[in-house]
Structure 1
């Protein structure tokens, strides 16, 4: 084509050359532009400024801005049009400051400007957000009498809006004598840009009453305003209006893009996909909007599939916006594999130098718990901005690497003498323990230094930091200081923080203070926290009162609130109320089922827990499986445990450390220590819970030596012990009579392992000393405790006194327990047994009389027998004596509950195809018994 153009236009006329230049301007192509440029020089019409101006513009639009600059330098006699073209080229290539400098130089040289010049200059200042210089140009346009030009006025309106001075835009718009559609679009989009969405729709209504007719830009802005205002009905009306005006046709790409975002925001992803599919021409914004819409509606796989399809469309290519849309999705959902794929795409397209993209990659790897990769990216970046530092600091803090986060924050201060609110919000989560309190206070100092005392978000974060560090006084002081302007989020921060850090009383007190004095309306987050606090404190009355508040507010329909109520009633032992809430909830999620199953397990109603698991509507997760394994552990039936173990492999949870620990406990309690050991050794990641379970398993099977060796192996492997570790260890020493070893572990808990002894450790020590007959040592141990002894500690000593027959000490300890827990019948029974053993019948009778007068009742124990897959309670003793050993699973105690007829029991056994031996035994018992030992299912 190049040779043909040269041959055809060798002897062309001057006017034909200009026609060619205009044609190339419409369809820029660097080869054709170069040929036309050469032809222009050959025929001698380059001296004409019209030709030079057109060539300069075409070079800029084809991406060869260097040629435009060279051409600009070659022309000596420059006029206004030529200078306007050069300034436009500068703006096209984002050289805004240079464009303004050229205008200043133009004024300095006395070259006249026209309204088009001012429009171009205003455009550069709008992009640069240079308000002061924009005001100067505004004044210059008034002085030159050019503001009457509608194009110039529209540009000034747009400039003020983009510089954040919407009032100036509105004033100028009101003063305009003639308004065209661009004028209305400028003020409507200006309101939208400044987050004045209601006013944007108001101007739309006003425009509809004028003589101007809306176009695609108007409809697009209106749809965007409806999206931001969450006005679905208004958005549908605007959509219909756009259809009537013919602005929703396939060629109106901006309108279609806005509609995709609109319907995606309102969870109607099908409508968004329909619009996307009907678009004949799609630009990169269309693809980005649809990918973001799919991600917003949880269609993660579809979003990645669309990204994959986008790469095979010739007319578009994924840009930076595409990547910064997909990478946060990988971050939030912890999709490390997909994130790495996007990273590979970034490397292939050689756009890894873009700062915003690398910042997203650092954030993605941090949230996917791959901090080492984030570190590598951070330290190898050629340039960093404050967002980069904040992202890395936050990544360290969120992954529990507080020291690295605080050290990097100090380096940031040496790199940049100041920090911003996002920096403080990034570093504050690193202050999560009392050891970080001083550092947290220094961050509070920075907060005051930056003048953020009135910033609610910063104050909320500082409040939560103080709660995490155990300084409730500072947190409450800060809450009182901002109470005049505090919203429900501030109060929720304090209440939720106290609940998470086990300050339950403080959470409830703050809730009452918030309602009674400040009359703040609570929300679902508040209710979840106070319900949880009531459950943890086992305050039945308080929990029911809050339940009443839940029923009076729409927040009570929130699934999170209902789940927290189920959990609370489970902790209160009221599984019937928990089941009632669960049954009346219309929007169960997996958490709902987990809460209900856990409530049954906590209250040892294992059979109902397994029945609920059997009809589970969702695919179980790790919490479900670990809860059900705990149920099998309580039940002590290996067959059920094996079935749940099969579920573990089926759902791929065999590598989960907490589930491995639960399985280990289950097999140990069911008598299969060998299988428990296999579970432990096959676990790829051995958590501290697994080690604790193994120590307990060896102790349960009376293998004291291996239990102590396991503890040493655990320490050698670098695992830090927990409270449960020492409870298991002290329990092993107590049951094995290793008193000296147990005392050594107790004495070195804090000095060597950094663990403060708690109530459960004190109970183990008293039990250990009491079992070995060292009752006075146990008594003195209790008296020397720095905290008031828990009733369980005295109860362990009373049990030891009963075992060794020390009536004097037993009576003294019993008197203490009667004052602490007067309604606990087990203490009376223990003392009564001691009186009987000592022959003190009169005291025993008197104590029995007290028990009857107080109407105290001991909880009736029960056991289960596993026959195949049926749990049989309270079988008659003749049946039990003849059952095979492998059918027995704990002998039940008798109660006065009603019993089912033997015939019904026989029918059930026939239907269940139980072995004939068992059925014959039951039949024989029926013929010999008088009905006293009727079996009960």
Structure 2
């Protein structure tokens, strides 16, 4: 009998419940068991067929083993135990030893043999057959065989659940688990491991949480393998915090535990956390494997940390994980080097690989494209196509199509399209959108239109791409018709829809349609988007409605003679008269015969930045774009600084990354913007990507970021670069180094830097005084101050802030009062709010609360809330409730939104046992919806 006939007969006899396989997602699964009996072969046609004819291979097997097995068949319900007779055990081991490469025919033959000799009652034999069918991708036969087994134990249930997972029937696996629990068979850690894996693959968090609870209740959480699976499940389901808690609660961790966290953080787009766990693993003594190495390198790639990635590569080589033998490690290295701009190193890694998979090819092609090596990317694609062991997939196509669109490579794009059709990828929606965009940009609108009209399904990207394609190719009427059809079919639109249709309004005939688009744009809430406003202005100009364009932009751009106006504006801005600079610019704008230029914009934008006038700065940004000056590097640098000073780093980034000709000043402005807005991490990341050699301004900005982070390791690296490039003697760089080392706890190094600075600026002296005060060495701070005066350096307001703060922290009350009293008379420095605050803090720390209160009362100017706040903190520290109440009442009137003052008074009430007053104050906080900013800590752990 032919093998396929045997397979069919097996299904006739065993798959009586094949309908159940079709309904495996339903939890209520019905089974129709069949009792095998030698005298009733009609109930199983397979037995009848086996008695009459069997393929030669099966007959030979029966003859060879006839001495070992009994030919008397047995019913399942009579032989359900795993400790069966010797012949069943021997048959099981024969069966087990021949299942290396399962296929349906082989599994069917062995099934026939088991039926013939009556060994299916042996549960290990049945389990092995069930798994053989599963691994041969014959899930219906596995299900049919399982339904014939009545006295099931945990192992056979686990086998069935495993078969469901192996064949992608994840819902069926969960249903089997529920059925297993309902039959009270019991389960073990293996059962939970399998179903947790299924939940992870299904991305079903609630189901996974229920399994976690079941694991804890059953006391199986001590199983490290199961704990690892739960850790991985939470990460794959997007609940990284639960994954981390699971990991932290493990009593013992192995490499799988660490890998679960390293990969989980990377999976959830937290590459910095992934790197941190990798470092922690290294410190714990656990040896990395190829999985942890590849994940850590990928994290370095995401963060742009080339040096760290190379360190991981070196460590991997030391551990024996050569990239030429481990594909995943090599692929991560290719991506790392490509992202960091070292495409030559990426190519070296790629060529050194002994075996390459499709990810290897895709990564090197994407890396070449990312670094502008378009022809080399196509060469690799051709080489990949001719290498029959690995063929391009959808990711390859998605990587290469945008290159064809960008470089207008229509012939290559058509070839890629043909390839997708041959490989049956053409129906993929994302690929179709990419192809449509490519054809539109390559001016092959007919092809794009044909593709659009034949798409089985369309999303909003499809419609936007087609509208944009018509507009870009001058087919305005067609673009507007497609837009109307989109409005009829969809209720949601995107910003890209607006931009796509606005570009179609390019003539007087389109004005009415353009006005309707303007109204539609206002309705959608895009009125404040500068790109949308500029597009509308451009639309009105193209349509000939200049009045509407000028009204939208708010001002007429007809200006007069520029030379004199620039002189006045630049002079005011450079001398710090920023309001006057802006007023002059307003008058200049009123002159009909004068038009501003890039020099004008640079100065007035700088004035807006110094005054922190974000709205006016955005107006000037729009003006520069409208007058085609937005691409001027000097204007863009001024915009970056303005947005940075106004705290809008997002807009600053937008301008920075839109610069086509960035210079070193551009990078310095962006780094300074991050530093000024306490975004030190991004400043460091940007510094690592610096395309030019840094100068002293670069070092000052990045050292300020290191000071904020308090990370000594980064600061030392930057100090080393400053030494190498000869900037360490610069007074501003040395002052920044002083602040960095002092804030990082290394006063000794700060002193060395200060003493080695030949020309000490006032900033360096101030930093040194502040450093001593920060480390509670007030006497040294005073000594440094007098030394500063002896060398002829004039003290400033910042000098006395540092000095008085040092006296306060060191408890030098008399010295602090003396220097405050002689600030103006001896040193010519007028006391300001910061100096008053230092004095109140100094008196408060010394317990002289009423002296501090009288000091504030004697102030010639109205004290700022911060001065009273310092006294309130002192009252809280010393437990003076009476004075604290009086001060708090003043502060509640001066600054009612500052929750810190309420909390200080509440703490004072608690300290004296006045709980009723404390509760009332807390209720006031709740009623006014006041919130205290959350504190946080930073920790940086390196490999070495």
TM-score for the superposition, normalised by structure 2: 0.48
Give the TM-score of the pair, scaled to structure 1.
0.49
More relative contact order, 1 or 2 (CA 8 Å, 6+ apart):
2
